[in-house]
């Protein structure tokens, strides 16, 4: 019962998404809405995964300084990784959330120099914070509420003097005497002098124009003159004049007029006091922020002094009563039952109803992404759906509470959107073209401006061994046909470590492939390379401006292959680019074909080949095996056997029986 009872000031978990970690908030108010529901006004606390990379770097620097100053014991890399999950950042951002989204309590404390960071890992649901995050300005600042405990904040107490030993220190340098109780004046004389000082203060306010406007009545002026600032000035005057009443009287009323002493209550105007009350309602007793955002023309000492004087006024008492009345009308606590509904990311058994993220299609044999275990009472889908990653029950609870995995992984912190669930291999041609960076001019310019850098992907020995040992799990041929589908390398390596002791008994036969020398390879390429054809004379056919000065007749080693007619086929030879020279077609020297607008960003090089109707007709006469052979060896010419065309029958012309015309009469 007490565990499900939540009160104002508790740090609690809020769930806003079934797959994301819990939100950590502090309850400030519990309000009941008109429809009977309970809403909680909470203060937001942020994790490291919620802030930018630059602020994370700043937080790392602050953590290193804290470890050096407090002399923290050394911890392992995994413990450092988990400590980042326990660190939070306080903010002054408020939001209202339904109380039914509360999922439990947690403990959040201010990090102190006496704390041991490793101790937070030993406690469950325990967090700490030392910096304040501003979501609007995107800044991290040190918390002003720090408790200064430590050796550098403590006073150095000298040793106790022995009996009969005198103190050799100079007292005037250590402290300043402002009042001597063993003076020659009696208490009635001191009281009379204080009354005279108040009367002088009242008279001085009557002479001052600004004071007469603020305190128009005599009672207000007398009340202002009776404040502590006037009494402190009178007692200081007695001390400076050696408690001589005559000299002190003359000091209170010099030749220029009576001395006027004011405190912060008189210096501040009514509008400034209203600004201070508004700032105090927003920031509390954070005087630095009050001065910076509301009263920048005031000093910090003036703001602090006004606060303690303002607490002695009736205005403070009235506001305190109003807040107490509002607090009585609000809820003090609320009971939220334990949330027992199943999580949609839960991977159900084959007989049960599957959850989200394609849980029913998960492969068997996958291990936990955090602890790499293969056995768990319950599994949960984690990460992008197409990655088919999952977590065991304990790691899922750790992910929801602490916002990370027990061990660092590549997928942690990556964006997990539903749009990633559609692989590119299953898209239509139009969808793939829509995703291409060449479709827009902005994307094309961005891609062309990107510098190209050389990088090398080098596999480890364990990866190469896992390809041989775990061929049934890896399925390299199936993976080669689907390059867009990711491979769970952790599961393959884990299975390889299990099979490796058994596989070492049967040595793997490596088939060595002899490689010919370089001279032999060059000779074979020279033999297989086709002869270069001479370009036909005449002006070339300009397709675009990049090709205007390039002849279309020749073909390089990897250029467009020529179509040569077979000796058994009936037809004419086809030159490069598949354009036949027939009597019914004009050559490039005779005319210029219609220009076609080709987008420069769509072509990787400035050479563009345009297929003609005859070329497309010739492709239909190639068998499937010939097409594959041509794709494997693009440098070899392709020979096409054209079918025999329909023969035209030549009918003999019969001579007419008579040369006279035949006339038909109706």
CB-CB contact of 621 with 642 (8 Å)? yes
Residue 627 has pLDDT above 60, yes or no: yes
- The model's confidence at residue 88, banded by pLDDT at 50, 70 and 90, is very high
Give the pLDDT confidence score for residue 48 in this predicted structure: 93
**Domains of the chain from N-terminus onward:** 5-142 (2.30.30.490), 187-262 (4.10.1240.50), 270-329 (1.10.10.60), 342-348+367-407 (3.30.50), 461-502 (no CATH)
Pick the range with the lowest mean pLDDT from 380-394, 401-415, 474-488.
401-415
Residue 412 has pLDDT above 60, yes or no: no
**Is the CA virtual torsion 29, 30, 32, 38 positive or negative?**
positive
Higher pLDDT, 395 or 427: 395
Higher pLDDT, 142 or 40: 40
Give the pLDDT confidence score for residue 548 in this predicted structure: 43
Mean pLDDT of 151-170: 82
Tens of pLDDT, residues 505-551: 555 555 667 778 888 888 888 777 655 555 555 554 444 444 444 44
Give the pLDDT confidence score for residue 349 in this predicted structure: 58
- The model's confidence at residue 87, banded by pLDDT at 50, 70 and 90, is very high
Tell how strand 139-142 and strand 126-134 pair up: antiparallel
Mean pLDDT of 15-32: 91
Strand residue runs (E) in 270-414:
333-335, 346-347, 379-382, 389-392
Q: For the sheet with 346-347, list strands across it.
A: 346-347, 379-382, 389-392
Tens of pLDDT, residues 126-145: 999 989 999 888 888 886 55
What residues have CB less than 8 Å from 568, skipping those under 6 apart? 641
Average predicted confidence (pLDDT) for the chain: 75
650 token code pair: 């030549």
- Alpha carbons 219 and 122: distance in angstroms, whole number: 65
Give the pLDDT confidence score for residue 25 in this predicted structure: 94
């Amino acid at each position: 019962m007490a565990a499900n009872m939540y009160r104002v000031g508790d740090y609690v978990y809020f769930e806003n998404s079934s797959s994301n970690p819990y939100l950590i908030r502090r309850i400030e108010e519990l309000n009941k809405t008109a429809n009977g529901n309970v809403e909680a006004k909470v203060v937001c606390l942020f994790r490291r995964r919620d802030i930018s990379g630059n602020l994370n770097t700043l937080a790392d620097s602050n953590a290193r300084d804290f470890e050096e100053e407090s002399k923290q014991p050394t911890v392992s890399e995994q413990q450092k990784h988990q400590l980042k999950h326990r660190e939070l950042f306080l903010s002054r951002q408020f939001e209202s959330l339904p109380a039914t989204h509360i999922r439990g309590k947690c403990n959040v404390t201010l990090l102190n120099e006496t704390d041991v960071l490793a101790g937070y890992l030993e406690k469950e649901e325990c967090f700490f914070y030392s910096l304040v995050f501003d979501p609007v300005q995107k800044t991290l600042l040190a918390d002003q509420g720090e408790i200064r405990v430590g050796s550098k904040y403590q006073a150095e107490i000298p040793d106790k003097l022995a009996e009969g030993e005198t103190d050799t220190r100079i007292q005037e340098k250590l402290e300043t005497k402002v009042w001597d109780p063993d003076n020659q004046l009696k208490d009635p004389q001191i009281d009379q002098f204080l009354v005279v000082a108040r009367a002088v203060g009242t008279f001085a306010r009557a002479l001052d124009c600004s004071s007469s406007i603020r305190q128009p009545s005599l009672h207000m002026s007398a009340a202002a003159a009776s404040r502590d600032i006037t009494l402190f000035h009178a007692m200081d005057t007695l001390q400076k004049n050696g408690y001589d009443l005559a000299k002190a009287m003359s000091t209170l009323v010099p030749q220029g007029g009576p001395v006027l002493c004011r405190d912060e209550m008189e210096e501040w105007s009514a509008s400034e006091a209203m600004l201070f009350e508004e700032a105090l309602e927003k920031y509390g007793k954070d005087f630095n922020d009050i001065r910076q955002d509301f009263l920048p023309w005031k000093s910090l000492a003036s703001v602090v002094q006004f606060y303690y004087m303002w607490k002695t006024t009736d205005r403070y008492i009235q506001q305190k009563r109003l807040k107490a009345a509002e607090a009585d009308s609000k809820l003090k606590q609320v009971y939220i039952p334990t949330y027992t509904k199943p999580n949609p990311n839960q991977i159900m058994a084959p007989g049960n109803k599957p959850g989200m993220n394609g849980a029913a299609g998960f492969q068997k044999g996958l291990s936990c992404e955090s602890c790499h275990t293969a056995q768990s009472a319950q599994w949960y889908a984690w990460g992008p759906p197409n990655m088919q990653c999952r977590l065991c029950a304990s790691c899922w609870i750790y992910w929801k509470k602490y916002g990370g995995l027990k061990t660092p992984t590549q997928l942690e912190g990556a964006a997990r959107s539903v749009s990633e669930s559609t692989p590119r291999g299953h898209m239509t041609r139009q969808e793939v073209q829509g995703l291409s960076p060449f479709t827009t001019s902005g994307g094309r310019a961005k891609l062309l401006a990107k510098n190209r850098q050389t990088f090398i992907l080098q596999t480890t020995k364990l990866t190469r061994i896992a390809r041989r040992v775990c061929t049934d799990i890896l399925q390299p041929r199936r993976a080669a046909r689907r390059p867009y589908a990711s491979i769970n390398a952790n599961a393959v390596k884990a299975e390889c470590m299990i099979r490796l002791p058994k596989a070492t008994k049967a040595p793997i036969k490596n088939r060595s492939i002899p490689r010919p020398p370089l001279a032999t390879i060059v000779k074979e390429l020279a033999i297989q390379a086709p002869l270069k054809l001479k370009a036909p004379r005449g002006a070339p056919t300009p397709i675009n401006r990049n090709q205007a000065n390039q002849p279309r007749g020749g073909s390089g080693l990897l250029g467009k292959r020529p179509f040569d007619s077979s000796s058994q086929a009936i037809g004419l030879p086809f030159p490069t680019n598949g354009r036949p020279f027939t009597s019914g077609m004009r050559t490039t020297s005779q005319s210029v074909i219609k220009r076609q607008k080709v987008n420069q960003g769509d072509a990787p090089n400035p050479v563009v080949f345009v297929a003609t109707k005859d070329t497309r007709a010739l492709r239909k006469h190639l068998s499937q095996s010939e097409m594959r052979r041509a794709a494997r060896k693009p440098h070899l010419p392709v020979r096409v056997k054209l079918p025999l065309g329909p023969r035209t029958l030549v009918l003999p012309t019969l001579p007419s029986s008579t040369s006279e015309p035949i006339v038909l009469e109706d």
